[in-house]
Amino acid sequence: MGRLQKLPCGCQERCKGSLTPIPRREYDRHAEFCNRVPISFSDFVAGRSQAAAVDSATRPSSSSNSIAQKRPHDGNAAASAGASAKQRRIELQEHSDSSDSVASAQQTREDLPRPLTQDDASCDVPFPRSLTFPPAPDPSTMDTQPAAVPDAPGRETAAQNSRPATPVPDPGSIDDYEQEEDEDEDEDEGAGDQSATEDRTAGGRPSLLHRDAREPMAEDSRSQIEDIAIAQDFISALCTASLDDDALPDDILDHLRHPPVGPPAFDDPILRLSIKVYLALTNASQDSYNRVREAICEELQTELLSFHQVKSQITELSGVVPIIHHMCVNTCIAFTGPFADLDSCPMCQEPRYDQHKLHTSRGHVKSPRQVFHTMPLGPQLQARRRHPEMAEKMQHRDRHVQEILAAGRIDVFDDLYCGTDFLDAVERGDITSNDSVLLFSIDGAQLYQSKQSDCWMYMWVLLDLAPDTRYKKPHILPGGIIPGPHKPKNLDSFLFPGLHHLAALQREGLQVWDAAKSLVVRDNPFLAFATADTPGMTLLKGTVGHQGKLGCRFYCELIGRRKQGGSQYYPACLKPDDYDLPGCSHDDVILRNFDESSEAIEQRYLKNLQLVCASRTQAEYRKNRLETGICKPSIFSGISSSHRLRIPAMFPGDLMHLASLNLTDLLLGLWRGVIDCDADDSKASWDWVVLRRDVWRDHGKAVASARPYLPGSFDRPPRNPAEKISSGYKAWEFLTYIFGYCPAMLYGILPDLYWRNFCKLVMGVRLLHQHKISLQELQHAHTLLIEFCEEFELYYYQRLPTRLHFCRQSVHQMRHAAPESERTGLLPLTTQWPIERLIGDLGGEIRQPSNPFANLSQRGLLRAQVNALKSMIPDLEPESSTLPRGSVDLGNDYVLLRAMDNIARAVSAAEQQAIQGYLQGQGDLEPITKVVRWARLCLPNGQVARSAWKESLKPLSQIRMARNVKFLLNDELHFGEVQYYFRLQVHNELKDLAMIMVL
C-alpha cells in the first residue's frame, strides 16, 4: 500500500497562500478557503508537480500496471471551459488488480485526450493532418523526458503504423510536468518503461483540452504562459460546442433544430401597419411612434400595437434574441469561458456585481455592473432563405463557383470565390451548395472625441450574395457589440459567445428551410475569412504585431532588423552598412516570388506554435516568442479545420488601412520631413523633403481648389491637407488625395527619381482596387509593387542603420498584395470599409448620451432583427424603381436622365457640322438643325455622367464636374467634354448620341 494521495493547496487561511501538498481529507477541509483565493494556471501546474514529487516514493511501478483514471467529465462544454485552472483536480486511483490494468486503460482511452491521427475529421487544433511531429527534444536541454503518445481510440493499427520511432509528448496533456519525478523512480524498469508511460498517459493525466482540440499546452510561466492556457480553455470549449450551452430560449433552440417552413405569418393588417410605422420611425423616438399611433387611432379609428408590443412582435417574427453576458466594468474581460465563475475581474479586481444590491439582498440579487450583447448567427442565417426571392440571391456563390470549376481556369478575378484557397476548400468538399460562407470583421471606434468611449463591434458578411449586394446595409449581419469605455484586454472572452454559437452550428448542422429549393437543408456555416486592422489582427491571430522580429501580417519568413539598443524590428530586405547585430545581420533578402502555399505556411506556423506553447520558463517563452512571432494560439483554432480556411491564411490583408492610412502616413512624413530623424542622421541630406513652408501651403491650396473637378461619384473630396491633415482627415480623403491627385500635383516638385518610384506604387494600388482584375493586370501590379519596394529601400533607406525606421510593414506588405489578391480572390473585398460603415451608422443612431453603450447595443440588436425580418418579408421595404421619373432606358444598363428640353433647340454651327459628319457616315444626308438635349446619362457602373449644358449654369464652387470623359473614336482613345446628350432618327432607327468637345 502506498501513502495517501496528496493534493496541492494554496489557501490563505491554512496554507498562508503557499502551495503545499496535503492529504485529500485535509484538502477537503481547506476547500472553502481555496475557493476564495484565485490561483494562476502556472501555480496550479507547479503545485501538481510538488504533489507528484511527494507521492512518487509510493507510486506503483510499471510492473504493477497501475492505472490513473480521470474524474468523470462534465458534459457541459461551456461549464467545463469556465472552470478555473485551480478547480481542475486530477485524482489518481490505485488498483490492486493488476490483471485488469491494461484492459481498463484500453476501455477509458476513448474518454481521454489524444494526438492527431490522419483519420480524424473533427476539429484539429493546431496540428494538421499532413504535419509530422518534430523529433523529441534533447534530454540534456530539457527538464523532463517526453511521454509516449497514446493511440487514437478505435484506430490502434493505424496509430501503431504511423507512430514516430521516437516518443514525443502529448501536446494536449500535462504529463511532462511530473515526468522528471517519474523517471527517478522508474529508471530501473527497463523494457517496461514505455507501456507504463502509455498507461499513465491514457489514464493518469487527462488533457485540459477536449481530445479534438489538439492544441499544444502552455507551460510554466506565470504571466505570459497563463495567457496561453486561458486561450486554450476557450479553444477547448469551441471544439466541444453545443447549442444547448448557448443562453438561448427553448423556442429559439427548437427553431434552430426544427426550422419553420415558409415565411412568417404576416396577414394581420394591424400587425403589418404597426410594424411598417415602427420601421418608418426607426431613427425617431418612442414618443414619435406614440403620437403617430394616437393620430391614426383618432382619425381612422384603428388602434395600432403599442411601442413595446410591436418590438416584441419583431423579436418573435425575426427569431433574433440577444445572448447577454456579464463583463468587467473596465472592459478588461467578459465573464465567459474560464472567467465564467469569477466574481471579480482578475485584471483590475473590480467586482462583477453591483455591491450595493448584493449586500442589501444578503447575496441573493446578483445584478451585473456591465453586460455586452451577442447577436446569434443561426436565426439570421435561417431568415435569409425563408423567402424565395432572398433564397435565390443566396445561390449566387454556388452558381459562380460551378462556372469557375467548369471553365477550369481563372482569367479574371472578380470575387472571393476566385481565390485559390477558397476553391481548394470547395474541391475538398468542405463547402457545399447548402452551406453559408461567412466573413468575420471586427474593429474598434471612439464614440466621442471629448471623452474615453472606446467601443468594439464585429459583424458577419454573407459571401453567398453577389458583391454588389452583400455589403449593403440590409444584408450585413451584426455579430456583437463590446461596450467601453476602454479597449478589451482579453478579446477572446468577448468573441467566445459568438464563435461558440458558430462552432455549435457547424458541429450540429443548422437546419434551414430553403424556399428556393422548397425543402429543409443542412447548413454547416463555413468561415472563410476573419478581418481586422493591424492592431486588431494581432489579437485575433495571437501574433506579436508589426514591431516584432517576424512581424509580417502574412507570416512570411522575413526576419526584421533593429537599431543598436532598440527593441523594435523593421522589415528591411537590404542589410545596413557597417551593421553587425546578433540575429539581424543576415545578408540581403530578395523577395519577389511567394511560392509558399497556404498549407506550407500553416505547417510552419503550427510547428512554431508548438514550440511557443512548450516553453518552460518566462525567459524561454520570450525567446520563442521573439523567434516565432507567436504569442498564443488564435481562438479561431477552435473552429474545425473542415469549416474554415487554414490559419493564418484565413486572416487576409486590409487594403483600406494599408493604402489609405499606413502608406500615406509614411510617404507624407518623408516628403514633409516630419518623420523621426536620428541624431546620427541629418535632414539636410534628405533630398526628398519638398513639402515644406510655402510649397506645402501652396500644395494644400491646389488640393482644395481641385474639388470642383472631382466627380460626385468619388464621394468625399479631399480638403486642404496643409490645414486639415491633423483635424480628422478621413481615410477616403487620403486615398483620393495620394493615389488620385498627387501623381499630377507632385510632378516637378518631387525629384524625378522619387516621383517615378511613387508612380509605380500608385499604378499598382489602382490596379488592385479594381472590381475586376485580369491575371495579366495582377502580374503587372505585382511587378510594379516589387519594384517600388526595392527602390524605396535604395532611395530612402540607403542601407543606413539610422534610417531603418523608414522600412515599415506597410511597405513590406505591398510585396504580398498581388499574391494575396490571387490567394483570396480579390483583396478589396476583404477590407474594413463595411465594418467602419456599420460603426458609423449605429453610432449615429445613439439617442441616449447618458448611457451610449447600452443604447448602441439595442440599436445593433434592432438592426439584426429588422434585417432578418426584411429578408423574410421583402414587402416591408419594396425596392424603389431603378428608373427615375422621366428617364429613358436605352438598354445595356444605360439610362438617359433629366433635365431635357421641352422642344427641339437649334444647334450651333460647329455642332451641326459634327452631326452632319456622323449622318454622312451612316448614309443619311438629311440635314439636322435642331435636337432635344438631355443633361445626364447613367452608366452601367452606376455613375452618372453629366454635361456642360447644365453644369456650366452653376458657379464653380457649387459643382462637382462629371462631364469629362474618355472614349474610343476610330479605335483611338480620346478625352473630351460632354456638351449634351440627344437622340436622332436615322433610317427609321433611333440612335442615342452625345455631343463631345474633343480635348
What's the pLDDT tens digit per position in 307-318?
999 999 999 999
Distance CA 316, CA 251 (A): 10
Distance CA 447, CA 449 (A): 7
Distance CA 944, CA 935 (A): 10
Which residue type is seen at 896? L
- According to DSSP, the β-strands at 437-446 and 454-462 are antiparallel
Say how many domains are in the chain.
4
Which residue's C-alpha cell is 472571393?
Answer: 416
Q: Is the pTM of this model over 0.85?
A: no
Element (H, E) at 443: strand 437-446
> Please, which residues have CB within 8 angstroms of residue 51's CB and are 6 or more apart in sequence?
6, 7, 8, 21
Contact 563, 801 (CB under 8 A): yes
Q: By CB neighbour count within 10 A (0-12 exposed, 13-18 middle, 19+ buried), where does 427 fall? A: exposed
Contact 94, 60 (CB under 8 A): yes
- Whether omega for the bond prior to residue 158 falls within 30 degrees of 0, making it cis, is no
Are residues 483 and 443 part of one domain?
A: yes
Are residues 528 and 413 part of one domain?
A: yes
Are residues 718 and 783 part of one domain?
A: yes
Distance CA 136, CA 125 (A): 20
Are residues 508 and 390 part of one domain?
A: yes
Distances, alpha carbon 659 to alpha carbons 151, 308, 539, 722, in Å = 50, 46, 21, 20
Distance CA 578, CA 93 (A): 64
Backbone dihedral region of 311: left (phi > 0), alpha (psi from -120 to 50 degrees) or beta? alpha
Q: What is the pLDDT of residue 502?
A: 97
Provide the Cα torsion 243, 493, 44, 198; round to 10°. 50
Q: Does residue 400 form part of some domain?
A: yes
Contact 91, 71 (CB under 8 A): yes
Least Cα distance to 352 among 338, 370, 364 occurs for: 370
Least Cα distance to 794 among 549, 575, 487 occurs for: 575
Q: What is the pLDDT of residue 971?
A: 86
Q: What is the pLDDT of residue 16?
A: 59
Q: Which three cell numbers stand for residue 554?
A: 502574412
- Whether omega for the bond prior to residue 126 falls within 30 degrees of 0, making it cis, is yes
Q: Does residue 935 form part of some domain?
A: yes
Q: Does residue 340 form part of some domain?
A: no
Element (H, E) at 437: strand 437-446
Q: Which three cell numbers stand for residue 786?
A: 516589387
3-state DSSP helix/strand/coil percent for the chain, to nearest 5?
Answer: 45, 15, 40
Q: How far apart are the first and last CA of the chain?
A: 102
Residue 866 is given by DSSP the state H
Q: 3-class DSSP state for residue 895?
A: strand
Are residues 822 and 771 part of one domain?
A: yes
Contact 220, 248 (CB under 8 A): no
Which residue's C-alpha cell is 499604378?
Answer: 763
Backbone dihedral region of 970: left (phi > 0), alpha (psi from -120 to 50 degrees) or beta? left
Contact 721, 729 (CB under 8 A): yes
Among 793, 813, 829, the domain-final residue is 829
Q: Which three cell numbers stand for residue 139?
A: 534530454
Instruction: Give 10-residue mean pLDDT values along the chain (999 residues).
Output: 55 64 64 44 36 37 34 38 35 34 35 34 32 34 34 35 34 32 36 33 31 35 68 93 93 94 88 94 90 93 94 94 96 96 95 94 93 97 95 96 93 94 95 96 86 89 96 95 93 97 96 94 97 94 93 94 95 95 93 88 94 90 94 95 96 95 97 96 96 96 96 93 92 96 97 98 97 95 97 97 96 95 93 94 86 92 95 84 85 93 94 92 85 95 93 93 90 93 91 93
Which residue's C-alpha cell is 467566445?
Answer: 496
Residue 351 is given by DSSP the state B
Are residues 306 and 409 part of one domain?
A: yes
Length of the chain: 999
Are residues 311 and 456 part of one domain?
A: yes
Phi and psi (nearest 5°) for 894?
-100, 135
Distance CA 374, CA 457 (A): 10
Distance CA 125, CA 213 (A): 5
Q: Which three cell numbers stand for residue 638?
A: 477552435
Q: Does residue 100 form part of some domain?
A: no
- According to DSSP, the β-strands at 964-969 and 972-986 are antiparallel
Which residue's C-alpha cell is 485559390?
Answer: 420
Which residue type is seen at 1? M
Q: Measured in whole angstroms, how far is the alpha carbon of residue 690 from the centre of its chain?
A: 39
Are residues 453 and 405 part of one domain?
A: yes
Q: Does residue 296 form part of some domain?
A: yes
Strand extents, DSSP E, 762-875: 773-774
Q: What is the pLDDT of residue 851?
A: 87
- Angle, helix 598-613 to helix 618-628, in steps of 10 degrees: 170
Distance CA 929, CA 915 (A): 9
Distance CA 441, CA 470 (A): 13
Distance CA 507, CA 502 (A): 9
Contact 576, 800 (CB under 8 A): yes
Residue 610 is given by DSSP the state H
Q: How many H-runs (helices) and E-runs (strands) does the chain carry?
A: 35, 23
Are residues 865 and 786 part of one domain?
A: no
Are residues 900 and 871 part of one domain?
A: no
Backbone dihedral region of 189: left (phi > 0), alpha (psi from -120 to 50 degrees) or beta? alpha
Q: Domain containing 7: what range?
A: 1-35
Residue 485 is given by DSSP the state S
Q: Does residue 918 form part of some domain?
A: yes
> Please, which residues have CB within 8 angstroms of residue 144's CB and are 6 or more apart in sequence?
176, 177, 179, 180, 183
Distance CA 828, CA 814 (A): 14
Q: Which three cell numbers stand for residue 243?
A: 447549442
Contact 145, 170 (CB under 8 A): no
Q: Does residue 943 form part of some domain?
A: yes
Q: What is the pLDDT of residue 593?
A: 80
Are residues 253 and 315 part of one domain?
A: yes
Are residues 937 and 859 part of one domain?
A: no
Contact 473, 453 (CB under 8 A): no
Distance CA 342, CA 352 (A): 8
What b/e readout covers 254-276, taking b as 16+ CB neighbours within 10 angstroms? ebbeebeeebbebeeeebebbbe
Q: Does residue 542 form part of some domain?
A: no
If you compute the radius of gyration of the chain from its CA atoms, what whole number of angstroms results?
Answer: 33
Q: What is the pLDDT of residue 79?
A: 39
Q: What is the pLDDT of residue 25?
A: 58
